Structure 1
Amino acid sequence: MSVKKIYLVRHGQTDFNVQNIVQGSGVDSDLNEKGRQQAEQFFAAYRHLPFDKVYTSVLRRTHQSVRGFLELGLPHEQHAALNEISWGVREGTRITPEEDAEYQGVLDQWNRGETFARLTGGESPDEVAARQRPFIELLKSRPEEENVLICMHGRAMRVLLCQLLNYPLTRMDSFEHRNLCLYKLHYTGSMFTVRNFLDVTHLE
């Protein structure tokens, strides 16, 4: 079997990112000017690659982040499985670990292995992982797609990387992310390996 190359990126910057407002899956925001620039820089760096398929979440900020590739007419599928984690009633509010005890408490639970924990009305990492698993199986089942571009969201990307690389979800935060950062992975038919970790050279 040939090696499947997966280019996994987080969406570009939004005004909510700048303001430290949680978006989650319930806030369907647009890229801001810098985010659009990041998308253009990524496209300029990788437009030469023969992508067989582009996968995104159903949220606009992922579509806008790979717009250049979509405008080339590349095959595209959107999957709710790639949506960001839901932060429940806290979506659209400004919460940070330093300022919000409830939010920090849930993050602490995850680090202790209590990945079933969630904010009120939101999702747990366990639930995100469960909805991602059918997509992972779909990805594995398509060997004809040798070069794949996936655009998704920060926390959900951390969960997905844990699953692809067989890490426990307690290791989520090992996978740092920035807007329009790239993780490149290879899949040999039996295992995934990381080739590029938090690559932002295309933004420099």
Structure 2
Amino acid sequence: MKSKTIYLIRHGETDFNRQGIVQGSGVDSELNEWGIAQAEAFFDAYQHVPFDKIYTSALRRTIQSVQGFIDLGIAHESHAGLNEISWGCREGQTPNTMDNAYYRDLVLSWRSGQVHVPCEEGESPVDVRTRQKPVVDLILSRPHERTVLVAMHGRAIRILLTLLFDEHLTEMDKYEHSNLCLYRLKYLYSEQKFVLETANDITHLLSLDIPHNS
């Protein structure tokens, strides 16, 4: 049976993650020291996997998260369609009490079915899934790439997984994620469906010392 295995990871930690600042697609931040350590730990654990291709978003934090594999000479493509959701005018700002309430109410509205509602000056979950689908179709159109590594972002991963499993977007928050977590999936071409093998796996990070906030 012909299949494709997808290793889907979230990027490593950035200083914005550490500070609770929303990045979205408009803030092209870099990994911090801990994020680099996470990326190196993931590389150490999975460098033996024969990846045929690496796909990342167009943002630096995803590319840096798989740099070790790129340095091995594995072919790499970046696609803006895999970027994080645009959180609009609140990107890059330290959340205050009003912002936190805004995000809470927005996510609750999405869970209630209002998935066409965008962030202020940003995107809706429907917008994100619409731009993700052509990239998914591209990846699936290449069956000769039997094993691929995809590096993305937290909210974007939640949205993507509902697309891959043909679920309503109201289901996206059931997919938990943390920095440099792994979802492993298999696509069965004969059945045209995805199978989830591993979810939010961080066992490759357990050897790292817990970082201390400075």
TM-score normalised according to structure 1 size: 0.97
- In the other structure, the counterpart of 1:10 is 10
Amino acid at match of 2:157: M
Residues 143/104 of structure 1: CA separation in 2 closer, same or farther (3 Å cut): same
Amino acid at match of 1:145: E
SS in 1 for 2:185: strand
SS in 2 for 1:48: coil
Residues 185/97 of structure 1: CA separation in 2 closer, same or farther (3 Å cut): farther
Matches within 5 A, 1:95-114: 95=95, 100-114=100-114
Distance 1:101 1:158 in 2: 21
Deviation at 1:97, TM superposition (A): 8.4
SS in 1 for 2:7: strand
SS in 1 for 2:39: helix
- In the other structure, the counterpart of 2:209 is none
Matches within 5 A, 1:39-188: 39-95=39-95, 100-188=100-188
Amino acid at match of 2:196: V
Distance 2:145 2:109 in 1: 38
- In the other structure, the counterpart of 2:196 is 194
SS in 2 for 1:143: coil
- In the other structure, the counterpart of 2:211 is none
Offset from partner CA, 1:71-130 (integer Å, 9 cap, x none): 001000000010000000000012378962222211111010100112211000000000
SS in 2 for 1:100: helix
Distance 2:110 2:62 in 1: 26
Distance 1:162 1:96 in 2: 30
Unaligned runs of 5+ in 1: none
Count of aligned residue pairs for this structure pair: 204
Offset from partner CA, 1:172-197 (integer Å, 9 cap, x none): 11000000000000001110010001
- In the other structure, the counterpart of 2:212 is none
Deviation at 1:139, TM superposition (A): 1.4
Deviation at 1:40, TM superposition (A): 0.3
SS in 2 for 1:155: helix
Distance 2:157 2:97 in 1: 19
Distance 2:113 2:159 in 1: 13
Distance 1:149 1:98 in 2: 38
Distance 1:41 1:65 in 2: 10
Whether contact under 8 Å (1:55, 1:77) holds in the other structure is yes
Equivalent pairs: percent with the same residue? Answer: 55
SS in 2 for 1:43: helix
Whether contact under 8 Å (1:118, 1:124) holds in the other structure is yes
Matches within 5 A, 1:13-32: 13-32=13-32
